[in-house]
Amino acid sequence: MTAVVVLASPLLAQSPLPNDEYVRRAPIAARGLAPGMKVKQLGNNNGRTFQVTLRKGDELAAGLTEFAEQNHVTLAQVTGIGALNSAVLGWFDPDKRAYKKIVISEEVEVVSFIGNIALENGKPFLHAHAVVAFPDGSTKGGHFIEGRVSLEMQIFVMDSEAAPTPVPTVTGPLPVTPDSYPFGAADHTRVAGDLRTVDYVEEEFLISGSANIYDWPQPGPAVVRTSRVPYTTRVLVRRPALRAQFSGTVAVEMLNPSNLFDLNLGWTISGKQFARHGDAWVGITAKPVSAVALKNFNPSRYAPLSWVNPLPLDDPKNCPAVPRDSDRLTENGLVWDIYNQTAAWLRSRDRTNPLAYGETDGRAPVQHLYAWGYSQTGSFLYTYVNAIHPLDVQANGRPLFDGYVIAMASGPAPINQCAPPIPAGDPRREINNVGVPVIRVMSGSDYLRTIGARRPDSDAAPDLYRNYEIAGSAHATPDELYFAAAPVDILKAGRAVPPMNCNEGPRSRFPNSIAFNAIFQNLDLWVRQGIAPPRAQNIHVENNAPVLDKFGNVTGGIRSPYVDVPTSTWFGNSTGESFCMIAGHEVPFDHTRLKQLYPTHSAYERAVSEDVSALVTERFITPEDGQELIEESKKADVP
């Protein structure tokens, strides 16, 4: 909807007013004068519609102004009816260029209330006219200045600016040849795979659109700093080859840029789970530094990628100091609208949407989108949940994402590359009352230093929340490198190949996938069927140190046979270059200790089977992973 609103109040200063019978304009409404106000959102066709009900004693102008601020209404039409017990209207005197007050001090029926809300000096301003009827049927009308509600006022606000999230322009799928293929393609990783063995296909697209750059100065939704900035980024899709195999569930991941190139951690960790259930996975290049790596890797394939900063270098808002992985000529803050526009595309029936499978009518194949983030992109989701998710709801009448998996993160990322870090204790660091399920997951590498981010679990809507800590796990496992781009491609992208080993030995092989697969399955059950996930203890901590068992493994947390029926001590932190501090390692038990614990191989198998059975029943392990763990125990060289 396109709307033009003209503020008709004459605001220019004129000669002094002769007396208090005149006023230049309606006074700025104070806050907190409408405690009985109730707000209900009714719909979202080309903009939001609200029903605002004010009760006896509420001040009408103050209430509507406060409503507009709280709901980020910046351009809207207003109509209403009801009753007042006092009011001030105004008749505009063109000679004095001021309103002559029409004071009403008795019960009146509001037979017409019409106007608009628009921004003035960056704040919502109500401009309305009213007609009121007296007991004898006579009426008075004029510019509305103030009024106290008698019985009730019912106001309808039609927001013109909250257009649905736009669908980006899409190019693709891009052709694949032996010399031109996606960076990080499934068959071009360190451990190459073939998606055809699970009846999946991989496709790469370029998406283009206009994104806002936001500021986030206080708790609540973000505000636009710079609007409609052009962008182009890439999207990688892995999906069932056939529509009949597609579950309707999609994991949408901002690809992790911490190594200065794209890491597809969601598929790395849970690709097997996705394929078992016919879920799709979508990865988005989410930072300019990764786009640079793509252009280095294949200049022609990725030539259109653009994350240009709209601010010139001499603009004070283009800060002189940016993070080490950033550049003043590009802008990290484009990612938020890139993410939600990708979601809008995946939910659409646009002919370019691979998850529509060519269908143009009937029920949309995509049923649920789940945001998935890990480490740096987990921090991205902290920001998205608190600053952008509310804007999605306002614009679309519902969330774009039906749930969030926020892994290995304890607080929000800066909303733009010049924004300062959000300090400890700031409410913006807390996740509460999102309206959809949020599951936060931490590893053995980082739960302790981020212990302040723990919060209680909740099943009470709208605060649906779980906090999980995976006992024995590490943050930066070898899997993230096995299933990342092949080393030759990383070098071609102009980046260093991360090390597989640390000072203590190889990166920890602890399989995070066991917990994550169950977490994703439980999230889907929570959304689809209202079945809440199990609650788990946090890893036990006393005096700022973990409580260890007799094997040196942590107690508490999400359990698995790796810590319940151990053959090693698992460490979440190591020493060495790159990300070794969160890579972790294991120290296997010697044969003597194994023999003491498990006198026979059958004893070991039995212990694993019993542990798996309990964890599958509790839904901390999927049945499929449980069976694989049992089969693994049969082949293990124990004792």
Q: Which amino acid is at 467?
A: N
Q: Domain total for the chain?
A: 3
Q: Are 167 and 348 in contact (CB under 8 A)?
A: yes
Q: Are 82 and 54 in contact (CB under 8 A)?
A: yes
Residue carrying the six token digits 């029920």: 363
430, 462, 490 - which closes a domain = 430
Tokens of 486: 């092949």
Residue among 542, 527, 524, 516 nearest 621 (CA): 516
Same-domain pairing of 187 and 125: no
Same-domain pairing of 119 and 198: no
DSSP string, 543-604: TTEEPB-TTSPBPBSB--HHHHS-SEEEES---SSTTGGGT-EEEEPPHHHHHHH-SSHHHH
Q: CATH number of the domain that 27 lies in?
A: 3.30.1330.80
Same-domain pairing of 177 and 129: no
Q: What is the dihedral of CA 187, 191, 196, 201, to 10 degrees?
A: -50
In a domain, 132, yes or no: yes
Query: Which pLDDT does position 13 carry in this prediction?
Result: 41
Q: Are 17 and 122 in contact (CB under 8 A)?
A: no
Q: 7-51 pLDDT, tens per residue?
A: 444 333 445 655 688 887 665 666 789 999 998 877 544 457 889
Query: Which pLDDT does position 15 carry in this prediction?
Result: 52
The secondary structure of residue 428, as a DSSP letter, is G
In a domain, 71, yes or no: yes
- β-pairing, 465-469 vs 403-407, is unpaired
In a domain, 356, yes or no: yes
Spatial distance between the Cα atoms of 117 and 240, rounded to a whole number of angstroms: 48
Query: Which pLDDT does position 122 carry in this prediction?
Result: 66
Look at the alpha carbons of 552, 556, 557, 561 in this order and tell me if their dihedral is positive or negative. positive
Query: Which pLDDT does position 14 carry in this prediction?
Result: 46
Query: Which pLDDT does position 21 carry in this prediction?
Result: 87
In a domain, 506, yes or no: no
In a domain, 9, yes or no: no
Q: Are 80 and 63 in contact (CB under 8 A)?
A: no
Same-domain pairing of 98 and 119: yes
Residue carrying the six token digits 């009730």: 152
In a domain, 386, yes or no: yes
The secondary structure of residue 346, as a DSSP letter, is H
159, 178, 204 - which closes a domain = 159
Residue among 496, 497, 439, 499 nearest 465 (CA): 439
Q: Are 476 and 408 in contact (CB under 8 A)?
A: no
User: Rounded to the nearest 5°, which phi and psi values hold at 143?
Assistant: -65, 130
The CA radius of gyration of the chain, in Å to the nearest whole number, is 29
Which positions of the chain have pLDDT values less than 50? Answer: 1-14, 44-46
Contacts of 610 (CB under 8 A, 6+ apart): none
Q: Are 357 and 243 in contact (CB under 8 A)?
A: yes
The verdict on whether omega for the bond into residue 27 sits within 30 degrees of 0, i.e. cis, is no
Q: What distance lies between CA 246 and its chain's CA centroid?
A: 24
Same-domain pairing of 70 and 213: no
Cα–Cα distance list, 161 to 72, 103, 395 (Å): 10, 34, 8
Same-domain pairing of 274 and 379: yes
Same-domain pairing of 107 and 135: yes
Which ranges in 298-387 belong to alpha helices (H)? Answer: 335-347, 376-383
Query: Which pLDDT does position 160 carry in this prediction?
Result: 66
C-alpha angle 364/365/370, rounded to 5°?
A: 105
H or E stretch including 132?
strand 123-133
Query: Residues 62-65: contacts with CB within 8 Å, 24+ apart?
Result: 62/29, 62/30, 62/31, 62/32, 62/33, 62/34, 63/33, 63/34, 63/37, 64/29, 64/117, 64/126, 64/155, 64/157, 65/29, 65/31, 65/124, 65/125, 65/126
User: Rounded to the nearest 5°, which phi and psi values hold at 382?
Assistant: -55, -45
DSSP string, 520-544: HHHHHHHHHH--PPPP-PPBPEETT
Q: 121: how many CB neighbours lie within 10 A of its CB?
A: 5
408, 430, 452 - which closes a domain = 430
For 36, the domain range is 22-159
In a domain, 35, yes or no: yes
Same-domain pairing of 216 and 133: no
DSSP string, 290-304: HHHHHHHH-TTTTTT
Same-domain pairing of 311 and 237: yes
Same-domain pairing of 144 and 283: no
Same-domain pairing of 143 and 179: no
Same-domain pairing of 572 and 598: yes
Tokens of 56: 């006896």
What is the phi-psi region of residue 324: left when phi exceeds 0, alpha when psi lies from -120 to 50, beta otherwise?
Answer: alpha
Spatial distance between the Cα atoms of 595 and 202, rounded to a whole number of angstroms: 47
Tokens of 464: 């649906």
Spatial distance between the Cα atoms of 543 and 635, rounded to a whole number of angstroms: 40
In a domain, 303, yes or no: yes
Q: What distance lies between CA 485 and its chain's CA centroid?
A: 26
